Each structure stands twice: as structure tokens, then as C-alpha cells.
Amino acid sequence: MKNNIKIDALRSDLAERVINICPKLSKEGFKVIRIPDDIYSEMYQKTIAAYYLENNIRKEYGADNAIPNENKLDPEVCFLNDNFFDLVHKNPDFIKLHEDFAGINLKPTYWYGPRVYLNGHVLKEHIDHPTTHLIGSSLKIFSEGDDEWPLTFLVDGQRVSVSLERGEMVIFEAVRVPHARPTPFKGKRYFGIFYHYAPLDFNAVASDEYAKLASEYEKIM
Ligand SMILES: [Fe+2]
């Protein structure tokens, strides 16, 4: 327990130093848009089929800073029989939505999901990986039950709350802007998918000091 507290302190100290010198790529820090219709419709159908019809579900232990709810339930992930979500990630039009927001050229790095959060889940405030996750997007496929599960973004010291409708996505600066879902999810299931992008030319946007901190982050996060 004592050790955990020490690690938490190290993490928050490092996160603060990372945030302070993170390149600023947008004025607002985040932007909500509709997921392109053709992508969303396939996303929705494939997720429904995988979860409810084919039962392609597994537990995702300790995923992405989620705190298990009081029943100690980890988030679930449904997995698909094809690479549709990977194709979305590498789709030039989809990447461009993120590039337009960030104002720089990006390359796809990671994606997760469809992840299924359950009743009572919260998401601790955190920053993402300083080099591979500079720009991220959180897509709401749909939720069962209560529709509201606000995200908060800490932009230049101000906490802003955002609720997504089904079929919407929020693109955001996932390192400069700490993000969270502080209110326990009141619905039954929330289906989300998450994409991450890095600058095509990292050195063009980041200082040497930032690169140094990023490698420190890798060791303790
Ligand atoms: Fe995150």
C-alpha cells in the first residue's frame, strides 16, 4: 500500500511536468464531431453482432485506468472476426479528421475496443502516453440504459464536462489535457472505441526536454 502511494506520487509529479511542456496543438484541447455515417453504421452492427449474437467477449483486466466498480467487475472487450476497426484506424479520411484538429500530420499508433464499461465504472483522471498517444479519440458506439456518462477535460486549468450522443466522437489532446469520467456510469453497458495517433514527425513538435520526460514516463507508468 505504502509503495502504491509512492508510485502514485511519482506518476502525478511526472504527469504534471509532462503537461507543462507538452506541445499545444489546438486552442480548445478537444472537439466533438459525428462519426462519419458509413463508418458508424458498420461499427454499430459489428459490435452488436459480436457482443449479443456471437458472444465474443472477454474481460479486460485493469484496462486504461478504469476503477472496477463495487462488484469488482473489470471492463469487457468484445472482439471481432475481421479487421474492420483496424481499417478505420488506418483510413486516410479518418486520420485526416484528427489531423485537421491537431494541425499536424499524424500516424496511427494504437486502438482499443470495442470496450464495454459496466454499471458503476469510473475513469481516473490521467494523461495518455506522451509520444504515441498525443492525439486520441473516444467514440461512443452506444450505451444500454442511462445515456449520460460525461467525460471531463482539464484544459488550461479549467475542467470542462462533455457528454457524447451515440454516434459521436471526441478528438482531444490526450497528453496536454488530463481526462476522466469521474461520475460512476449509471447505465448497464457503455460501448466505446478508442484511437490514438502520434505526430508523423515527433521531433518537429516536441522539445528535447519533452522527449526526455517521455522516456521517463515509459519507465514508471
Ligand atoms: Fe486516456
CA 145–ligand 1 middle distance (angstroms): 24
Question: Using CA atoms, how far apart are residues 80 and 49, in angstroms rounded to an integer?
Answer: 9
Q: What is the pLDDT of residues 144-188, one digit of tens each?
A: 987 789 999 999 889 999 999 999 999 999 999 999 999 999 999
Question: Using CA atoms, how far apart are residues 116 and 185, in angstroms rounded to an integer?
Answer: 11
Q: How many CB atoms lie within 10 A of CB 130?
A: 28
Reported as a pLDDT band with limits 50, 70 and 90, residue 221 is low
pLDDT at 37: 98
Q: What is the DSSP letter of 65?
A: G
Please state the separation of Cα 103 from the chain's center in Å.
19
CA 186–ligand 1 middle distance (angstroms): 20
Q: What is the pLDDT of residues 75-105, one digit of tens each?
A: 787 777 679 999 999 999 999 999 999 999 9
pTM, entire model: 0.91
CA 129–ligand 1 middle distance (angstroms): 8
pLDDT more than 70, % of the chain: 90
Q: Record the cell numbers describing residue 158, joined without a space.
A: 479549467
CA 72–ligand 1 middle distance (angstroms): 21
